[in-house]
């Protein structure tokens, strides 16, 4: 991301996904979410109902956002999450 965007602070990342017939590990999403917030990126997280991330991961993400002056938004509207994003990860 740094190669393409340069400084990551203030850039927008959308983490989005839809229902899948085969479950995938949420570990990459957890790692990317926390790393992006540590870099000061603004993160929008969108997923279908029933695909929520672990409460501890979300709590840590909220704390990281405050600590690094980043925004962290979450919801189910994929269109809203990707609006204005510099990077979309799905």
Q: Output the tens digit of pLDDT for each of the chain's 90 residues.
A: 999 999 999 999 999 987 777 777 788 899 999 999 999 999 999 988 888 889 999 999 999 999 999 999 999 899 999 999 999 998
The residue with tokens 């870099």 is: 39
Can you give the pLDDT at residue 26? 82
Q: Which residue from 3, 5, 2 is spatially nearest to 85, judged by alpha carbons? A: 5
Is the separation of the CB atoms in 43 and 37 below 8 Å? yes
Token pair recorded at residue 50: 């029933």
In the three-class reduction of DSSP (H, G, I as helix; E, B as strand; rest coil), residue 24 is classed as coil
């Amino acid at each position: 991301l740094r190669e393409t965007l340069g400084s990551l602070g203030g850039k927008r990342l959308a983490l989005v996904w839809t229902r899948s017939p085969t479950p995938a590990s949420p570990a990459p999403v957890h790692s990317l979410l926390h790393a992006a917030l540590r870099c000061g990126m603004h993160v929008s997280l969108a997923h279908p109902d029933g695909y929520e991330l672990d409460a501890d991961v979300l709590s840590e993400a909220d704390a990281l956002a405050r600590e690094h002056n980043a925004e962290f938004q979450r919801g189910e509207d994929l269109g809203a999450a990707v609006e204005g994003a510099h990077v979309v990860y799905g």
